[in-house]
A and B are shown apart, each in its own frame.
Chain A
């Protein structure tokens, strides 16, 4: 039974009884209808690998695991409480270390490091992309000597918001507008900061109005979630450590506006074996605000909108009621329920760049569901989903608007 000790992922995989209740929850199974693209199938493969039935280097095994969005909808559906994410991420790390995949992993790693984790490069690339998009130069990328998947990825990049929307918050300490009710920090992230400065600014204003003294520490950065999902644990470690150093110790909460980051940051201890004190303070923006209470009387915001649960909010963090509760407090805001609100949109970190065809068919399902609601405003809480669904909706004849929940709440100030 040494296998269970030496391979914690294997131990988790034993919780699965192969009942199949995860199948309907899995976006790739729903799209491809293949057992190997279901959580049950992938767990079986990973368990079989540990037991020596299939080799890690078997290409079909790698393909099957690559296809996973890591949206963790299966965890919500699983009656045995299988911690799927942990098994998958352990195997992604194993795969990344395979010689046959090493080059690709290194490339992906440096791409993530340079474009996402490094603030200056990230900002620069976003500005140039924005410019390229504005000038219609995106097509140019297709003739440059990039790997094929990356070329496709570039062609699929979502619209980059304009400079004024991207402008980040200046680090510092922001005082509450009324009496102080909490001492918190705002995690600004990488994508959120460079692409969605407007969201972070809206969140800051709402938190101030709710009576929070908000720290925006200067040296914080990428949370490392995308590295972790890609099996690049080693590259994630310095990023985690940077954030541990950056945040002050005596805070009531660390507020995250991106569901994917929040989910990863809450799980630092199980991944990295450290940072438990930090992690217990991490709260999603909606979670924190719903529990604290708005602390101000919201103004009416006459609009009809629908809410889409980001996977890493509902499945990753179990947060479902909080955002709905917050939105319900805004007078004249009518929330029309979305069908399958907890289904993944296909964005899944950088999945949409790695598996564009599959990501697009998953997106199509989401877009159809949004169309069915009849409303033109979609509210969500994760930057990846935000951009991805926006790009899907942009193809329709009607004009749709995608908003982060913080932006909606800021309208009610």
Chain B
């Protein structure tokens, strides 16, 4: 008797770690990107590298696409199942720290480990894992790796890519690969940010950082966005490297203050700027007066600053919860992450506001100003097709604007489903074709997370069938 696909999954994992009941399938039909939903064929929860490899090999035999998933907090649809029903490999059960060395400041973790959990464990030795996407309480190291996640502190400490030293993954041929930054070509760098299209990461070697001796957070409110952006430019040019430079606009401030993460931000301000200095005590204390001086010269409505851990947390709490808090405005929200050169922030922002008006979409902004990473939040009602379409179109226009200003369509959320069409703003057919070639080196049959990343239609000039942009080359 031949087993069907689901039975074969059970053969690998056992009854209690494979699911395809309607509730499970529905729950895994999307990530943090609300616009596109597809149910997976089945959900598998492996616990070992071998099981992951066996699952990938099974999918290759059966021609079933694979989607690795961590916590499903991705904002671009990277963890949303592809249209062709896939096997969703839920990595949440692989969340152990395998080894770590306080002296070498490295750790090897399973890819399902939650970002913040790692920092808590290594915190005992005064270390932490630096990349801190706003989802860090929930999102996994594997998911962060797949999307090359950023966060408020990237400005000083870099992206996820700057903190990954090695990856063990099962590639699209079903082979186990160990990539190490110190050994051979930078496959680690290639894999980071590949959005699950190269294979399934099972273990990640990360760099740990020393916790800063002192942290001082400033909060300044301004009556204009230009003043807030101008302050950022001046601080950066001064050679001060704050750990974070974050701006919240008026609408965001209101939403945050109405939520459980209310942080006491002044409600009448047009922009709130959060600045965080961290590092050695002497360094922070020397830089603080310089920051205050620049702030004062830009005529803020109010400035406060604190080194108290609890108060800092509450200032940050509002920023970290801003995305969720925006959910109060409309039933759905999607958040862009286009990047512009910091010197063009203010002018781009006013154009972004015009786009919001043009499409009649509620549009708020909270962003990593230090590296020019915008976060326009578009609030809409997903049940209203016309409003949804307007939100999507406004989003694309904002991304085009970012590229025209010398920036990028994505600073940290990845392409996924959300921005695949916008890839054409940045990359021409030759670039995309190089990307396709690169992908084939890892996943020749396009079995890993298909249908994302590359724009649909028009492309496919190398004789690939039309369905290959979504389905499998089998």
Residues of A within 8 A of B (CB): 14-24, 33-36, 38, 41, 44-45, 48, 53-54, 58-61, 63-64, 75-82
- Asked whether any CB of chain A lies closer than 8 Å to the CB of B333, the reply is yes
- In the assembled complex, the Cα of A80 lies from the Cα of B322 at a distance in Å of 9
Contact of A33 among B27, B93, B116 (CB under 8 A): B93
- Asked whether any CB of chain A lies closer than 8 Å to the CB of B21, the reply is yes
Residues of B within 8 A of A (CB): 19, 21-24, 26-28, 30-32, 34, 45, 71-73, 90, 92-93, 95, 112, 114, 116, 135, 137-139, 258-261, 320-328, 331-333
A19-B32, A20-B71, A80-B259 given; A35·B27 CB < 8 A: yes
Q: Are B28 and A19 in contact (CB under 8 A)?
A: no
Write the nearest CB–CB distance from A341 to chain B, whole angstroms: 14
- In the assembled complex, the Cα of A23 lies from the Cα of B72 at a distance in Å of 10
Q: Are B93 and A44 in contact (CB under 8 A)?
A: no
Q: Are A17 and B34 in contact (CB under 8 A)?
A: yes
Q: Are A58 and B23 in contact (CB under 8 A)?
A: yes
Write the nearest CB–CB distance from A92 to chain B, whole angstroms: 15
Q: Are A76 and B135 in contact (CB under 8 A)?
A: no
Q: Are A79 and B259 in contact (CB under 8 A)?
A: yes
Which residues on A sit within 8 Å (CB–CB) of B137? Answer: 21, 24, 77
A58-B22, A79-B260 given; A24·B30 CB < 8 A: no
Q: Are B23 and A79 in contact (CB under 8 A)?
A: no
Q: Are A19 and B26 in contact (CB under 8 A)?
A: no
- In the assembled complex, the Cα of A64 lies from the Cα of B28 at a distance in Å of 13
Write the nearest CB–CB distance from A3 to chain B, whole angstroms: 9
Q: Are A81 and B259 in contact (CB under 8 A)?
A: yes
A24-B138, A76-B260, A80-B259 given; A18·B32 CB < 8 A: yes
The majority secondary structure among interface residues of chain A is loop
Question: Which of B19, B23, B93, B259 has the largest number of chain A CB atoms within 10 A?
Answer: B23
The majority secondary structure among interface residues of chain B is loop
Q: Look across to chain B and name the residue whose beta carbon is closest to the beta carbon of A58.
A: B22
Which residues on B sit within 8 Å (CB–CB) of A79? Answer: 259-261, 320-325, 327
A34-B45, A79-B261 given; A17·B332 CB < 8 A: yes
A-B CB proximity, top 9 nearest: A79-B324, A79-B321, A17-B327, A60-B23, A33-B92, A60-B21, A80-B327, A41-B27, A35-B27
- In the assembled complex, the Cα of A64 lies from the Cα of B22 at a distance in Å of 11
Write the nearest CB–CB distance from B308 to chain A, whole angstroms: 16
A45-B23, A63-B23, A81-B328 given; A20·B73 CB < 8 A: yes
Which residues on B sit within 8 Å (CB–CB) of A53? Answer: 26
Question: Which of A53, A58, A60, A63 has the largest number of chain B CB atoms within 10 A?
Answer: A60
- In the assembled complex, the Cα of A41 lies from the Cα of B327 at a distance in Å of 17
Q: Look across to chain A and name the residue whose beta carbon is closest to the beta carbon of B74.
A: A20
A15-B327, A34-B45 given; A45·B26 CB < 8 A: yes
Write the nearest CB–CB distance from B438 to chain A, whole angstroms: 30
- In the assembled complex, the Cα of A14 lies from the Cα of B137 at a distance in Å of 23
5 other A-B residue contacts (CB within 8 Å) besides A15-B328, A34-B27? A20-B31, A33-B90, A35-B72, A77-B137, A80-B328
Q: Are A36 and B23 in contact (CB under 8 A)?
A: yes
- In the assembled complex, the Cα of A59 lies from the Cα of B325 at a distance in Å of 33
Q: Are A21 and B135 in contact (CB under 8 A)?
A: yes
Q: Look across to chain A and name the residue whose beta carbon is closest to the beta carbon of B28.
A: A35
Q: Look across to chain B and name the residue whose beta carbon is closest to the beta carbon of A11.
A: B331
20 A-B residue pairs with CB within 8 Å:
A17-B332, A18-B34, A19-B324, A20-B31, A20-B73, A20-B138, A21-B135, A21-B321, A22-B138, A24-B114, A24-B137, A34-B19, A34-B90, A34-B92, A35-B24, A35-B90, A41-B23, A41-B27, A61-B23, A80-B327
Contact of A60 among B24, B28, B331, B333 (CB under 8 A): B24
Which residues on A sit within 8 Å (CB–CB) of B45? Answer: 33-34
Contact of A34 among B24, B31, B116, B258 (CB under 8 A): B24
